[in-house]
Amino acid sequence: MDLGLKDRVYVITGATRGLGNAAARELIADGAKVLITGRDEKTVAEAASALGPDASGIAADNGDPAVAGRLIDAARERFGRFDGVLISVGGPAPGFAADNTDEQWESAFESVFLGAVRLARAAAAELGEGGVIGFVLSASVHEPIPGLTISNGLRPGLAGFAKSLADELGPRGIRVVGLLPARIDTDRVRELDGLSADPEATRAANESRIPLRRYGTPEEFGHTAAFLLSPAASYLTGVMLPVDGGARRGF
């Protein structure tokens, strides 16, 4: 199936590893070009080099108010156009309500929430018909995840913002979509499993609750992201798509 991605240009934040990187790889494999970001300049350069000539990288912090416009300008300067953005950031600090400090909440709000809102608004102002804004959120949008209180607080709010934005931008032919990963086998998920006394038992218990009985792979997430961002998904907007092997029981 031709996704219609050839020569389209996307900005992908938080893409030096994990889910953002997986999405970048699949977009490039289907003919797109990507501008990736991460906080560390050396890591960004290495990740962009590994992705090949259809990738470029910029060190950027989503919490910086000046970043949004700079990324869009850089994509146009490097590749000549701008077709969409996938907003992905590293998960906020784990912890329970009594554990997380005000400083952790404030830092996460700036990078996870407000940074995403700023980039989405900047993209909305620059995109034309056929453009797309994607958010990498979390299964916590629908159901809180124990030990991830900050994420539980912020991700549902971003999903609500994305749904509102879809309504506002739909008449202009711009789509807004969200991906809700659960147990995808990334460094982040392995780190969270590792917080338990027995990480292997924790993983086995989690897998037993997933209908497919396994964690997803980053490649599987990347395939889904590439499709949602592509013209092949042109009639999908406002959707929050679980990528979870069937773990969500609701419709």
Structure pTM? 0.94
Provide the pLDDT for residue 153: 94
Q: In the predicted model, what is the mean pLDDT of residues 34-38? A: 96
Residue 232 has pLDDT above 80, yes or no: yes
* Residue-wise pLDDT tens digits, 9-35: 999 999 999 999 999 999 999 999 999
| CA-only gyration radius of the chain, Å | 17
Which ranges of the chain would DSSP assign to H, the alpha helix?
18-29, 41-51, 67-79, 102-108, 115-126, 149-169, 187-193, 199-208, 218-229
CA atoms within 13 A on the CB side of 100: 20
Residue 145's pLDDT band, with cuts at 50, 70 and 90, is confident
Query: How many other CB atoms sit within 10 Å of the CB of residue 11?
Result: 25
Task: Give every CB contact of residue 218 below 8 A, 6+ residues apart in sequence.
Answer: 18, 19, 21, 22, 184, 185, 186
* Residue-wise pLDDT tens digits, 158-209: 999 999 999 999 999 999 999 999 999 988 888 888 888 888 988 998 899 9
Q: In the predicted model, what is the mean pLDDT of residues 223-231? A: 98
Residue 95 pairs with which residues in a beta bridge? 148
Provide the pLDDT for residue 91: 79
Average pLDDT, the chain: 94
Provide the pLDDT for residue 47: 97
What are the structure tokens assigned to 55, written together?
């990738």
- With contact defined as beta carbons under 8 Å apart, do 72 and 11 qualify? yes
Query: Going edge to edge, which strands form the sheet with 33-38?
Result: 55-59, 33-38, 9-12, 84-87, 132-136, 175-181, 240-243
Provide the pLDDT for residue 109: 94
